[in-house]
């Protein structure tokens, strides 16, 4: 019988070794209203959120859809999030060490 301690010992032996043909577990994200809302947004659109935490969660949804966002806190404590560029459309200049997001 394999115990939890045995598994940890085996895992420690694997650190630093190259292993082949190890499958990647699929991450499943629930498709909720935030996903629907983010998919409908066009560059330049913005959404107002009540809390910074809600804004951060929405920005995470946008990242998974390869959308670049920025946020600004408002004077009343709310946070506005703008969709500013597609992450899939970037230009990398290695000489100047700069990444530019291409806006449509």
Domain residue spans in the chain? 25-101
Report how far residue 85's alpha carbon sits from residue 66's, in angstroms, rounded to the nearest whole number.
Answer: 9
Please write the tens of the pLDDT for every residue from 5-50.
555 666 666 678 888 898 888 776 667 889 999 999 999 999 999 9
Neighbours of 69 (CB within 10 A): 21
Reading the block at residue 8, the tokens are 């940890």
Please write the tens of the pLDDT for every residue from 80-89.
999 999 887 6
Number of Cα atoms under 13 Å in the Cβ half of residue 47? 21
DSSP-assigned letter for residue 27: P
The confidence score (pLDDT) of residue 7 equals: 56
- The larger pLDDT score, comparing residue 89 to residue 1, is at 89
The predicted model gives 57-64 an average pLDDT of 94
Q: Report pTM.
A: 0.60
Neighbours of 53 (CB within 10 A): 10
């Amino acid at each position: 019988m394999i115990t939890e301690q045995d598994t940890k010992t085996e895992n420690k032996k694997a650190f630093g070794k190259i292993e082949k043909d190890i499958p990647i577990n699929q991450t499943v994200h629930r498709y909720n209203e935030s996903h629907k809302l983010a998919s409908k947004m066009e560059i330049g659109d913005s959404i107002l959120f009540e809390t910074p935490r809600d804004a951060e969660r929405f920005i995470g949804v946008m990242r998974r859809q390869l959308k670049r966002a920025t946020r600004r806190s408002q004077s009343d404590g709310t946070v506005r999030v703008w969709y500013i560029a597609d992450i899939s459309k970037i230009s990398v200049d290695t000489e100047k060490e700069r990444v530019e997001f291409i806006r449509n």
